[in-house]
A and B are shown apart, each in its own frame.
Chain A
Amino acid sequence: MHVLRALMRRPSAFLGLIIVVTIIVLALGAPLIAPFSPDEQLFDGLTLEGAPIPPDAVYWLGTDTLGRDVLSRLLFGARTSLLIGLVANGLAVGIGLFIGMVAGYLQGTVSNLMMRFTDLMMAFPALLLAITLAALLKPSLWIVALVIAMVNWVQVARIVFTETRGLVERDFIMAERSLGAGHARIIFRHILPHLMPTAIVWGTLGIATTVLLEATLSFLGIGVQPPEPSWGNIIFESQGYFTAAPWLVFFPGVAILLMALSFNLVGDALRDILDPTQRGRL
């Protein structure tokens, strides 16, 4: 509650929060709000020559190249993008926390191997790795989430590792150890709670990165499969039309930007509020 109040006090974070909530409400309410079915190829949705229709009274944000309503696709696409954002990033933070914490707590060969592997993953060009993985595993919504998680956990692991190392050296952990507390007890009772701020901050900031990566994969044609709309693949399907039908690129582009922006604003404020090294500075 304290955190939420602190968030509300910051204008930019407050704005971010409002956008996040709005997007979630719109995504959940898509079936009720959307004027058309997102997959329906409307007969009136194309001109006689087969060109998409610009925004008008019926199609508020215009139609796409198959005569589908862009507004409806955007609303349903919000579900896909949010879902992938939450699942993929949740997974990434989970993996990162586990590896970082275990490697940080344990000393010795296992820890070393884990961190060398993390270094290895850091050296991979993220997008190339994601593209190869996406080509290897037949693309679907869950596979895309998995691929993104496999690319994005690395940074979290690095930060968690450093923090855990710092914690392990601290007196109270040393004391617990000398009292003979089990590893599990120390990790879950003492280390994990201290890592929660980091997890929350990355859980929020990472969503922005994830949404962008999903959009990029879909933009390159290896993301979510049609006709399932995602903001990235809406742009992918119409990228050639950006001069002839700019609305097909503009609206989903702004949507992606807003979603990433809002999660970044909230995440950044959370970092300021929760990060102990930052506390007291502001």
Chain B
Amino acid sequence: MRTKWIKRAALAGFLALSPLAAHAAGDQVTVTYKDDIATLDPAIGYDWQNWSMIKSLYSRLMDYTPGTANLVPSLAESFTVAPDGLTYTFKLRSGVKFSNGREVVAGDVKYSIERAVNPKTQGPGAGFFGAIAGFDDLSGGKADGLAGIETPDAHTVIFKLSRPDATFLHVLAINFSSVVPKEAVDAAGGDFGKKPVGSGAFTLKEWVIGQRLVFEKNASYYLKDTPRIDGFTVEIGQEPLVALLRLQKGEVDIAGDGIPPAKFLEIKNGPDAADLIVDGEQLQTGYITLNTRIKPLDNVKVRQALNYAIDKDRIVKIVNGRATPANQPLPPLMPGHDANYKGYAYDVAKAKALLAEAGLPKGFSTVLYASSTDPNPRIAQALQKDFAAIGVKVEIKAIANANVIAAGGTEGQAPMIWSGGMAWIADFPDPSNFYGPILGCSGATQGGWNWSWYCNKEIDKRAVAADSMSDPAQKDARAKAWGGIFTDIMEEAPWVPVFHERRVVAKSKRMGGPGEIYIDPTRVINYDAIFVKH
């Protein structure tokens, strides 16, 4: 950890010296989105739109080097982990101030995490803190705070865990761990999400509901030369197509919703493509869940046959090549991804043979649920065609996301679900995030997200073991353990991994910096790092 911290300081120093970093005052950036920004309350906000804004409004004990998945201390100056992996001690930076002028102290960290866990907050992220001692009491309403967070002095926070958790540092870097001042939360009277107060790189200056949000640089932010722009405005209600036309004209700097498929080829083949498009991997997998509790999908041979049936290259073509074919749940950038794993290659003959072995030589009929937002109905129809080729007749139900999620979380309802439009990017760059909720036994419950209802107790045990390897020295061994878990799961084929969608962002020519800060694996757009070229 320490070495990386030094590296980051060096990087910052280099950027400060480079001529590009010397930006003039008044660099204002315009970003557009179609849908409303739901809330900027870090204990509640949990969608890919507000995720990056919350990141930049607040600070957390831990954070990532921009554009990478490397953890670094942020609001914390330093930290130590006890050998048993059960005690984490953080020293806070001194002199960090909230935008209301008060200094950030250890009690704020404790308050903020307790707030995220407290059922009254209605926050979705409570479960991430399950390893902290006293979690069950607070979450179950038996206590008002977390016994496992201690603040011996204003600049020291000690976490006591009830079990080792290798992802704990990542947990302290997700938005739910953002530090908020209690007095501002109380003063907002439940409207904190619209009146945010934090200690991040930006502050919210204005919010005109349904129209725009204006963010202003926090001049006293504790990281040197961060942020590199003076502010940004998020305009709401902008159709992606329109946003793109405005971007080409220079009126918009970042089209937040990306490039609509209809425009992608035109822009990609246009003269300015290199300046306008940032195209990169993200931590995402698009998959079909095969419900292991519905006949005939309960037969592993049938699930394997379905895996062999999909021509993933053609599906990638339908999304204009903006994805990489997948053969396993973990995306390539995720630690644990097995580049040597071959998976199930497209092979119609083999698929038919497996179906015959399963006693279904003539195929069968089933239902595929999908989100009704473009391009998912189209992808569903392409999948339907491939399944038809091996005799599997698929009926498509393209419905609103909420209804797909409801069907998936009801036992015995949805035989197959295409995850596109719903399975978003990972919460944090750790392989465990691809297991528990979506492939583990705990997710296979009413209202859960394990839509294949796959539950292998043996694998569950291996997952717990892997997550207990919290010593940083075991990092590689842990990644390997996780990789093995996912390839072993694929033997039982509860999913058809279809592709890893790449993120394609359109930015105006004047926006500078490496592509990674526009498709940041942990932030999407990294407002702290982007800058305007002069």
A residues touching B (Cβ–Cβ < 8 Å)?
Answer: 39, 41, 46, 49-51, 65-66, 135, 138-139, 221-222, 225-227, 237, 239-245
What are 30 A-B residue pairs whose CB atoms fall within 8 Å in the complex? A41-B382, A41-B385, A49-B265, A49-B317, A50-B265, A50-B320, A65-B318, A65-B375, A66-B378, A66-B382, A138-B397, A138-B399, A139-B399, A221-B373, A221-B398, A225-B396, A225-B397, A226-B377, A226-B380, A226-B396, A226-B398, A227-B381, A237-B378, A240-B241, A240-B261, A242-B262, A243-B262, A243-B263, A244-B262, A245-B262
The docked-state distance in angstroms from the alpha carbon of A221 to that of B266 is 26
Query: Interface 1/0s, chain B 363-400, versus A by CB < 8 A?
Result: 00000000011110110111011000000000111111
Distance A74 CA – B266 CA, assembled complex (angstroms): 27
A39 to B375, CA, bound (A): 17
Q: B321 touching A50 by the CB < 8 A rule?
A: yes
How far is it, in angstroms, between the C-alpha of A39 and the C-alpha of B266 when the chains are bound?
27
Instruction: Evaluate contact between B374 and A237: CB separation under 8 angstroms.
Output: yes
Tell me whether B403 is interfacial, beta carbon within 8 Å.
yes
A60 shortest CB reach to chain B, Å: 22
Could you tell me if A225 and B398 are in contact, using CB atoms closer than 8 angstroms?
Answer: yes
**In the complex, what's the smallest C-beta–C-beta distance from B258 to chain A, in angstroms?**
12
B400→A66 contact, CB < 8 A: no
B372, A221: Cβ atoms closer than 8 Å? yes
B448 at the interface (CB under 8 A from A): no
Pairs A-B, 10 closest by C-beta atoms:
A221-B372, A241-B262, A50-B317, A244-B262, A240-B262, A240-B260, A50-B320, A227-B381, A226-B377, A41-B385
Contact A240 B377 (CB under 8 A): no
Give the chain A neighbours of B377 by CB distance below 8 A. 221, 226, 237
Closest A-chain residue to B385, C-beta based?
Answer: A41
CB distance from A250 to the nearest CB of B (A): 14
What B residues does A49 contact at CB under 8 A? 265, 317, 320-321
Give every chain A residue within 8 A of B380 (Cβ-Cβ): 226
- Cβ-defined partner of A135 (8 Å) among B262, B320, B374, B403: B403
Q: How many A-B residue pairs have CB under 8 A?
A: 77
Query: What is the distance, in angstroms, from A254's C-beta to the closest C-beta of chain B?
Result: 20
A159 to chain B, nearest CB (A): 35
Residue contact A135 to B400, C-beta cutoff 8 Å: yes
Could you say which residues of chain B place their CB within 8 Å of the CB of A138? 397, 399, 403
C-alpha spacing A139/B398, complex, angstroms: 8
0/1 string, B242-281, CB within 8 A of A gives 1:
0000000000000000001111011000000000000000
Q: Is A65's CB under 8 angstroms from B378's CB? A: yes
Assembly CA distance A65 to B260 (angstroms): 13
- From known contacts A221-B372, A240-B241, infer whether A65 and B261 are also in contact, taking CB-CB under 8 Å: yes
Q: In the bound complex, do residue A243 and residue B241 qualify as a contact, i.e. CB atoms below 8 Å apart?
A: yes
Complex-state Cα separation, A244 to B384, whole angstroms = 26
B395's nearest neighbour on chain A, judged by CB, is A225
Dominant secondary structure at the B interface: helix
Contacts of A237 in B (CB 8 A): 374, 377-378
The answer to whether A50 and B241 touch across the interface, beta carbons within 8 angstroms, is: no
Residue of A nearest to B375 (CB): A65
Of B319, B384, B398, chain A has the most CB atoms within 10 Å of the CB of B398
Distance, CA A237 to CA B263, complexed state (A): 15
Chain B residue nearest in CB terms to A67: B318
In the assembly, what is the distance between CA of A147 and CA of B390, in Å? 35
Q: How far is the CB of A94 from chain B (nearest CB, A)?
A: 28
Say whether B318 contacts A50, CB under 8 Å. Answer: yes
User: Which residues of B have CB within 8 Å of A51?
Assistant: 265, 320
7 additional contacts (CB under 8 A) given A135-B403, A226-B378, A243-B263: A50-B318, A226-B396, A227-B381, A237-B378, A240-B241, A244-B263, A244-B265
**Which residues of B lie under 8 Å from residue A245 when comparing CB positions?**
262
Closest to B266 in A: A244
Within 8 A of A (CB), among B281-320: 317-320
Cβ–Cβ < 8 Å partners of A225 in chain B: 395-398
In the bound complex, do residue A222 and residue B372 qualify as a contact, i.e. CB atoms below 8 Å apart? yes
Chain B neighbourhood of A226, CB < 8 A:
377-378, 380-381, 396, 398
Contacts of A222 in B (CB 8 A): 372, 399-400
Chain A nearest CB: distance from B406 CB in Å? 11
Assembled-state Cα–Cα distance A244/B396 (Å): 27
Task: Kindly list chain A residues whose C-beta atoms are within 8 Å of the C-beta of B399.
Answer: 135, 138-139, 222
The distance from the CB of A239 to the nearest CB of chain B, in whole angstroms, is 8
On chain A, the residues within 8 Å of B400 by CB distance are: 135, 221-222
Chain A residue nearest in CB terms to B319: A50
Nearest CB on B from A269, distance (A): 39
Nearest B-chain residue to A227, judged by Cβ: B381
How far is the CB of A30 from the nearest CB of chain B, in Å?
19
A245 to B395, CA, bound (A): 28
Name which residue of chain B comes closest to A49, CB basis: B265
Assuming the A-B contacts A50-B320, A65-B318, are A41 and B265 also in contact, with contact meaning beta carbons closer than 8 angstroms in the complex?
no
Q: What A residues does B398 contact at CB under 8 A?
A: 221, 225-226
Question: Which A residue sits closest to B407, measured CB to CB?
Answer: A138
A76 to chain B, nearest CB (A): 15
Cα(A13)–Cα(B382), bound, Å: 43
* Contact (Cβ within 8 A) A66 B381: yes
Q: How far is the CB of B396 from chain A (nearest CB, A)?
A: 6
Once bound together, how far apart are the Cα atoms of A135 and B320, in whole Å?
30
Contacts of A46 in B (CB 8 A): 317-318
List CB contacts (< 8 Å) of B108-145 with chain A: none
In the docked arrangement, what's the CA distance between A146 and B225, Å? 62
**Bound Cα distance A241, B378 (Å):** 13
What residues of A have a CB within 8 angstroms of the CB of B396 in the complex?
Answer: 225-227
**A65 CB contacts on chain B under 8 angstroms:** 261, 318, 375, 378
Complex Cα distance A244/B240, Å?
Answer: 14
Closest beta carbon of chain B to A175's beta carbon, Å: 56
Determine how close the nearest CB of chain B comes to the CB of A150; give it in whole angstroms: 19
Bitwise interface map of B from 28 to 72 toward A, beta carbon under 8 Å scored 1, else 0: 000000000000000000000000000000000000000000000
Q: Could you tell me the distance between the alpha carbons of A166 and B519 in the complex, rounded to whole angstroms?
A: 70
Docked Cα-Cα span, A240 to B382, in Å, equals 19
Point out which of A46, A222, A244 has the most chain B C-beta atoms below 10 A from its C-beta.
A244
In the complex, per-residue mask of B390-430: 1 if CB is within 8 Å of any chain A CB, else 0:
00000111111001000000000000000000000000000
